[in-house]
Amino acid sequence: MTYLKKPKLRHPSLEVNSVGYTRRDYEGAISTLCAGCGHDSISAAIVQACWELEIQPHRVAKLSGIGCSSKTPDYFLGNSHGFNTVHGRMPSVLTGANLANRDLLYLGVSGDGDSASIGLGQFAHVMRRGVNMLYLVENNGVYGLTKGQFSATADTGSKSKKGASNRDAPIDLVSMALQLGATFVARGFSGDKRQLVPLIKAGIEHRGAAFIDVVSPCVAFNNHAGSTKSYDYVREHNEAVNRIDFIPRRREIRADGEEGEVLEVIQHDGSMLRMRKLHAVYDPTDRVAAISYIQQRQAAGEMVTGLLFVDTHPEDLHIHLNTVDIPFNRLDTPELCPGSAALEGINRSLR
Ligand SMILES: Cc1ncc(C[n+]2csc(CCOP(=O)(O)OP(=O)(O)O)c2C)c(N)n1
Ligand code: SF4
Ligand SMILES: [Mg+2]
């Protein structure tokens, strides 16, 4: 992979957040993706969200698989922990890292090929286990890195750049994540940063399996007439169900805006999701209704974006497994290896 370091020069008047960092401190290496690739806009949204959340970069672990999308963690959060796994295997590596050190914020970045094709089994299990993470798929409907073959999210009948028509049924990762038990599910569009940044902020702060499918056009292989993941197509068929603001618990909570149009959802930790409802009937706390609404709009040829579902009292894998509060790297030898008498006690209890 080409690695171009960004020059460290910065303007002295750049705004600094409460932990002492400018937006530039959340950037990474210079992107080597095609000019106009949706994935670069998503990287910029992640930078903005982390700066606004005042996250210390060393508290983040970013993991990805293989693909243009999976290259992007190189282009943001250059001072965070990073791991590039084998194609489609990011979820199991992220699960292991999370179990070993629960104190980091886990950001899984993947592509539609990486998650819906080769990695579908891994995707399913990381969602149903409730791993505490933000899992973000940069969805362009093709394998961009290997020159534009259809991925498993390509719609039936959509056309490739060379004119071939896709005959297979698509996988909708949002519907799958909902069915599998993810406790935060959203869809965004790389071309709508105003919607995407608050979704990313809320997903990072969510304490459970948070999933965002971001439609991200591939300008090299999937941005032509006949593609259902192009900029033009998404702009014409996008139906936003809500606009959210995410207000962390540590901030003063102010309620403004027109009464009746803003839905406020308080989360378990006291943070607040303020949703400006664009669609009168949409309730993001009802999983079954969310699944049915997405299917209905899909049948009508619309792509629903926004916060589709949130469980305000999520449970994560650590709760399910009753793990210790302290990360493994801070446990010492007697705690990790309590000796043969303790082992004998455990064995006796299981007989
Ligand atoms: C085990 C394995 N099989 C196949 C490949 C070839 N390969 C590399 S990237 C890729 C698809 C990437 O598509 P996606 O995840 O959608 O990322 P994009 O490039 O579109 O962002 C494939 C099939 C590989 N690297 N490893
Ligand atoms: S090939 Fe497509 S996905 Fe890859 S960098 Fe270029 S535009 Fe982006
Ligand atoms: Mg792709």
Q: What burial letters (b/e) apply to 86-102, b meaning 16+ CB within 10 Å?
A: ebbbbbbbbbebbeebb
Q: Is 120 in the pocket of ligand 2 (CB under 6 A)?
A: no
90-149 pLDDT, tens digit each: 999 999 999 999 999 999 999 999 999 999 999 999 999 999 999 999 999 999 999 999
Distance (angstroms) between ligand 2 centre and the Cα of 4 equals 17
The pLDDT of residue 170 is: 97
Does the Cβ of 213 fall within 6 Å of ligand 1? no
pTM of the predicted structure, to 2 decimals: 0.94
Summarize pLDDT for 265-291 with one digit per residue, the tens. 888 778 888 877 778 778 999 999 999
> Looking at residue 154, what DSSP letter applies?
S
CB of 68 sitting under 6 A from ligand 2: yes
For tokens 């999520």, name the residue.
314
| Ligand 1 center from residue 1 Cα (angstroms) | 14
Q: How far is the CA of 143 from the centre of ligand 1 (A)?
A: 6
Residue with tokens 């839905």: 263
Q: Confirm or reject: Cβ of 217 under 6 Å from ligand 1.
A: no
Residue bearing tokens 């060379």 = 162
Amino acid found at 206: H
Contacts of 18 (CB under 8 A, 6+ apart): 54
For 152-209, write each residue's pLDDT tens digit.
Answer: 999 999 999 989 999 999 999 999 999 999 999 999 999 999 999 999 999 999 999 9
Closest ligand to Cα 217: 2
pLDDT at 257 over 70: no
Ligand 2 pocket, residue 210 CB under 6 Å: no
Q: Cα of 284 to ligand 2 centre, how many Å?
A: 32
Helix (H, G, I), strand (E, B) or coil at 90: helix
Assess whether the C-beta atom of 161 lies below 6 angstroms from ligand 2: no
Which atom of ligand 2 lies nearest, measured to the CA of 39?
8
Query: Chain-centre distance of CA 69, in angstroms?
Result: 12
**If you measure from the C-alpha of residue 174 to the centroid of ligand 1, how many angstroms do you get, rounded to a whole number?**
20
Nearest-angstrom CA–CA distance, 315 and 183: 8
Beta strands per DSSP E along the chain? 60-64, 81-84, 105-111, 133-139, 142-143, 149-150, 184-189, 209-215, 238-240, 242-247, 262-266, 272-277, 303-310
- Report pLDDT digits (tens) over 13-52: 899 999 999 999 999 999 999 999 999 999 999 999 999 9
| Overall average pLDDT of the 81-90 stretch | 98
> Cα separation of 179 and 207, whole Å?
19
Q: Which ligand is nearest to the CA of 34?
A: 2
Give the residue from 144, 134, 133, 182 showing the smallest Cα distance to 290: 182
The reply to whether ligand 2 has any atom less than 6 angstroms from the CB of 39 is yes
Alpha helices in 244-308 (DSSP H): 287-299
SS3 117: helix
